[in-house]
């Protein structure tokens, strides 16, 4: 993974110099600062360190390939740009093993690759993984469940507590029901027993 660095007196100016010299934009990179160096006569200077996002995705795929091959699985990758994020989709000869029970293996791989990237770059880089369309199907399933329960709550006026969900899953429910007339949502409980409550609104 290429590490581009440059020292200067001002962080923003130095970062912009790196971007211009390498024909990059801020959207193409992640960046951090090194140690502040103090010269005898020159005063303080800041080291700006830049990594291309494309290099990070390539590094992530190489790392994941090694880990997954060690599990005895063959794997291929597809990098897909979504609306607000980039997802690395994985395709293997046994997707069930990669997903794990309730997606636990997939979550563990996501945590592992994020930690590895941070170790290599010093930057916390949010990387999203999926196995084929597992997450897309899960989102669709949660949205469908939320709408069905919301219709029932609107009809019966009986408040309903959903099963415990992580923050990502709860956000899916809140988002899909934001403009759903006749109901309101809120999260209750303490992690890991936090869940969404769907209630009828007062007319």
| Nearest Cα to Cα of residue 46 among 57, 62, 35, 30 | 35
Angle at 80 between CA 79 and CA 83, to 5 degrees: 145
| DSSP string of the chain, one letter each residue | ---EEEEES-HHHHHHHHHHHTT--GGGEEEEE-PPEEETTTEEEEEEEEEEHHHHHHHHHHHHHHHHHTTT--EEEEEEE-SS-EEEEEEES-HHHHH-GGGHHHHHHHHHHHHHHHHHHSS----EEEETTHHHHHHHHHHHHHHHHHHHHHHH---EEEEE--HHHHHHHHHHTTT-TTEEEEEES-TTS-EEEEEEPP-
The predicted pLDDT at position 70 comes to: 94
Residue 41: predicted pLDDT:
53
Q: Tens of pLDDT along the chain (203 residues)?
A: 899 999 888 889 999 999 999 999 999 999 998 766 665 556 678 889 999 999 999 999 999 999 999 999 999 999 988 766 789 999 999 999 999 988 899 999 999 999 999 999 999 998 899 998 898 899 999 999 999 999 999 999 999 999 999 888 999 999 999 999 999 999 999 988 899 999 999 86
* pLDDT of the residue at 118: 95
Q: What is the pLDDT of residue 78?
A: 93
pLDDT at 40: 57
Per-residue confidence (pLDDT) for residue 34, from 0 to 100 = 74
d(CA 92, CA 73) in angstroms, rounded, equals 7
State the pLDDT at residue 14.
92
pLDDT of residue 92: 94
pLDDT at 117: 95
* pLDDT the model gives residue 39: 59
């Amino acid at each position: 993974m290429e590490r581009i660095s440059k020292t200067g007196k001002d962080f923003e100016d130095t970062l912009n110099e790196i971007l211009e010299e390498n024909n990059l934009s801020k959207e193409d990179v992640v960046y951090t600062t090194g140690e502040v160096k103090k010269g005898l006569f020159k005063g303080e200077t800041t080291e700006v360190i830049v990594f291309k996002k494309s290099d990070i995705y390539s590094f992530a795929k190489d790392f994941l390939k090694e880990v997954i091959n060690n599990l005895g699985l063959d794997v291929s990758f597809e990098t897909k740009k979504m609306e607000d994020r980039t997802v690395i989709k994985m395709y293997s000869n046994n997707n069930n093993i990669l997903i794990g029970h309730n997606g636990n293996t997939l979550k563990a791989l996501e945590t592992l690759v994020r930690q590895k990237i941070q170790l290599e770059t010093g930057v916390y880089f949010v990387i999203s993984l999926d196995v084929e369309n597992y997450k897309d199907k899960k989102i669709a399933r949660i949205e469908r469940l939320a709408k069905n329960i919301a219709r029932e709550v609107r009809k019966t006026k009986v408040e309903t507590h959903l099963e415990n969900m992580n923050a990502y899953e709860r956000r899916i429910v809140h988002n899909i029901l934001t403009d759903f007339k006749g109901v309101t949502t809120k999260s209750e409980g303490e992690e890991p027993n936090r869940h969404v409550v769907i209630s009828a609104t007062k007319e």
